Amino acid sequence: METQKTVSRQQFLKTCGIACLSGSALSVALTSCASVYYAQAPRIKGWAIQISKKEFDLSDKGKRKRSFMVVEMKNQAHPIYLRRLGDDNYTAVLMQCTHQGNDLNAHDGYLSCPAHGSEYDTDGRVTEGPAEESLKRYQVTTDEQYIYINIA
C-alpha cells in the first residue's frame, strides 16, 4: 500500500511564501549586479567638463560601447547623466529631481527619483510624477578624442 503524505494549508502557504521571497531576493540581487559606470577622469576645460570618448568603450577595440555613464565632479552638487546616442551624438542632463531636489538613480534608458518615484526619460522629460518640470539639459559637443559637457 502506498502512503500518501498530506500537507496542511498552513505549511503549503508557508512554503509558497518562502519560495516567493527567495525569488524576489534573487531578482533584486541580479539587478544590482548591473552597475552604473562612473566617468573615471573627467576634467574641467574652460566652462566644460571633458571626458574621453574611450570611457564609453566596453572592449579593447571599442566595438562594444556603454550606452550611458554618470559624471561626478568634486565641486558639483549633483551628478550628470551622459548618454551616448551614436558616434558623435550625446545628451547630458543634471541628475537632480525637479520635485524636491533629490539625486536621481541612473538606469539604461531612464532616471528615477528614490524619494517620491518621479521618472524622467534620457532627455530629462518627466514621464512619471509627482515632478512636473523637465531636468536641466546641457549642451554637448565633441572632437576626435573628447566629449565636452558645457556647464556654463
**pLDDT tens-digit series, residues 101-119:** 999 999 988 999 999 999 9
Q: pTM of this prediction?
A: 0.73
CA-wise closest residue to 104 among 91, 89, 122, 90: 122
| Domain chopping of the chain, boundaries | 43-150
List, for residues 29-79, the tens digit of each pLDDT value. 333 345 889 888 788 888 999 999 999 888 766 678 899 999 998 888 899
Considering the domain 43-150, what is its CATH architecture?
A: 3-layer Sandwich (2.102)
Please compute, for residue 130, the number of CA atoms within 13 A of its CA located in the half-sphere on the CB side: 7
d(CA 49, CA 147): 8
> How far apart are alpha carbons 70 and 36 in whole angstroms?
7
What's the CA gap between 20 and 127, in Å, rounded?
30
